[in-house]
């Protein structure tokens, strides 16, 4: 006969395994670019990130079929945009208090958290995740601190704030690339970012630009740009 102690041990083990299974999250801690948010890290990783950065968060339930269906697309999004945004997910069965506080009522909900004081925006799509739409939602919150540099203002750009390195992008594009804009925001007051159009022949010749795009770092204590 099985002893009472052994029966209790088996029952406890079964309960523990069941609890672990229910708490298992959809994204692997070791393999995924999607961060699993919980009661300990949500405020630090998402709310406090709004002082300067942008977060994209998926609110899901592990027993929701559409959430499971969206997993691959959201994983792909996280790989493509990991340098641009903080990307994570909250499992709303286990961390119901977070989802209730955030007012989440539909699953999955994708929420973009832009820098304060801009309000958040949600994407809810019953037909599956539209990553292009989600990307556009997040991209529109990227600021732009780049400066249009021409032969007329080049010396002022280069010489002002002498202790601050300047980053110059020579480009044929009409607009500053998204990633360059994002960097100008992130490194605000640490680096100055300038855009030089290819038709600025005087500056193209001055910097000996041979192809576009070309990137230079200009420091006042260096004789030549890097």
Is there a single domain that holds both residue 135 and residue 159?
no
3 lies in a domain? no
5 lies in a domain? no
14 lies in a domain? no
pLDDT at 30: 86
Beta bridge partners of 171: 197
172 lies in a domain? yes
CA atoms in the 13 A half-sphere facing the CB of 179: 6
pLDDT at 125: 78
Domain count, the chain: 2
Dihedral angle computed from the Cα positions of residues 62, 64, 66 and 68, in that order, rounded to the nearest 10 degrees: 30
Write down which residue in 105, 139, 173 finishes a domain: 139
* Matching residue, tokens 């529109």: 140
Q: Which residues of 137-152 are buried (b: 16+ CB within 10 A; e: fewer)?
A: bbbebbeebbbebbee
pLDDT at 20: 40
Count H helices and E strands in the chain, helices first.
8, 9
**pLDDT tens digits, 9-50:** 554 444 444 444 344 679 998 889 999 999 999 999 999 999
Structure token digits, residue 60? 């899901």
Is there a single domain that holds both residue 109 and residue 203?
no
pTM of the model: 0.74
pLDDT at 9: 53
The gap from C-alpha 193 to its chain's centroid, in whole angstroms, comes to 20
90 lies in a domain? yes
Domain that holds residue 31: 26-139
Write down which residue in 139, 160, 194 finishes a domain: 139
Residue 109 belongs to domain with CATH number: 3.40.30.10
Question: Hey, how many other C-beta atoms are within 10 angstroms of the C-beta on 177?
Answer: 14
Q: Which residues of 3-31 are buried (b: 16+ CB within 10 A; e: fewer)?
A: eeeeeeeeeeeeeeeeeeeeeebbbeeee
Write down which residue in 103, 119, 139 finishes a domain: 139
**Residues present in the chain in total:** 226
- Cβ contact 63:93 at 8 Å: yes
Is there a single domain that holds both residue 91 and residue 185?
no
Rounded to an integer, what distance in angstroms lies between the CA atom of residue 89 and that of residue 75? 11
Identify the segments of the chain with pLDDT beneath 50: 1, 8, 11-23
**pLDDT tens digits, 68-80:** 999 999 999 999 9
11 lies in a domain? no
225 lies in a domain? no
pLDDT at 5: 54
> Which residues contact residue 132 at a Cβ distance below 8 angstroms, ignoring those fewer than 6 apart?
none
């Amino acid at each position: 006969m099985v002893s009472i102690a052994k029966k209790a041990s088996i029952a406890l083990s079964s309960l523990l395994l069941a609890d672990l299974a229910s708490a298992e999250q959809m994204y692997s801690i070791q393999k995924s670019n999607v961060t699993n948010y919980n009661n300990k890290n949500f405020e630090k990783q998402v709310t406090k990130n709004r002082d300067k950065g942008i977060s994209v968060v998926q609110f899901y339930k592990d027993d929701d079929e559409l959430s499971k269906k969206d997993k691959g697309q959201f994983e792909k999004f996280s790989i493509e945009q990991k340098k641009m945004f903080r990307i994570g997910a909250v499992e709303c069965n286990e961390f119901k208090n977070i989802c209730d506080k955030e007012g989440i009522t539909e699953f999955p909900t994708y929420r973009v958290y832009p820098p304060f004081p801009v309000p958040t925006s949600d994407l809810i799509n019953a037909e599956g995740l539209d990553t292009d739409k989600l990307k556009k939602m997040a991209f529109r919150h990227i600021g732009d601190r780049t400066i249009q540099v021409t032969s007329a203002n080049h010396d002022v750009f280069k010489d002002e704030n002498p202790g601050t390195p300047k980053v110059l992008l020579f480009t044929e594009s009409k607009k500053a690339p998204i990633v360059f804009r994002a960097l100008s925001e992130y490194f605000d007051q640490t680096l100055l970012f300038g855009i030089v159009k290819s038709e600025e022949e005087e500056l193209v010749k001055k910097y000996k630009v041979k192809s576009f795009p070309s990137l230079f770092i200009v420091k006042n204590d260096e004789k030549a740009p890097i």
